[in-house]
Amino acid sequence: MTLNRTRQTDFLNVTQTNGLRIAVVGAGGIGSWTTLTLSKMGFDNITVFDDDIVEDHNLPSQCYSLVQIGKPKVDALQAVVKAMSGVIIQARNQRFALDDVFDVVLVCVDNMATRRQIADWFQAGDLSAKVVFDARMAIQELILVSYTHESVDRYLGALYTDNEAVQEPCTNKAIAFTTNLAAAMLGKAVAEYARDKSRFGAQITLDGKTPGGAMHYARK
């Protein structure tokens, strides 16, 4: 059964979503909700990479259910997405690999080393994508950036290592409103790319931790 998406067709329609090859790297807090969001929007060519399993502490901030504890995240996500949108994602129970061709790559991981590896592949021409979106979060903070071949050098120059990253305690890492907000912003960014490949993307910073903090949106 196909979802009735008539309420969005003036903004995003099937001719724009069909065939866009999307890779989601990571099926955790950001990646799981983003995959579900994209499927509901009509994107039907989504491959998700993750080699982790669903654990009980994942459930409050990720889109999995109690009965899926212990299952590979990608298999659990495939079931959730199929049930809620009718879209069947490609579930890859492994870390990201270069054996497929994608138009868009969404980096939804929790470490900087993987971000650098993907950007290095992209810079070298080994990764065939046209644009990469990188989403990072803490419990009340969110950053979303994108890069193309014209801007990957600048992106790499701004990357820091995992040792340089702020280390939050396990009890202060993720909450549902931030993971859902990240998914919404990634969904909007991908929709903009699907609508007009010459005008897309943003750098978004959400600061909910500092009193008076706000969201800042800057189109690239």
Pick the more confident residue, 206 or 123. Answer: 123
14-219: CATH superfamily: NAD(P)-binding Rossmann-like Domain (3.40.50.720)
CA distance 47 to 155: 24
CA distance 169 to 155: 27
Res. 28: pLDDT tops 90: yes
pLDDT of residue 67: 98
Give 35-90 pLDDT, tens digit per residue: 999 999 999 999 999 999 999 999 999 999 999 999 999 999 999 999 999 999 99
Give 168-190 pLDDT, tens digit per residue: 777 788 899 999 999 999 999 99
pLDDT of residue 168: 76
* pTM for the model: 0.92
CA distance 54 to 103: 28
CA distance 47 to 26: 10
pLDDT of residue 142: 86
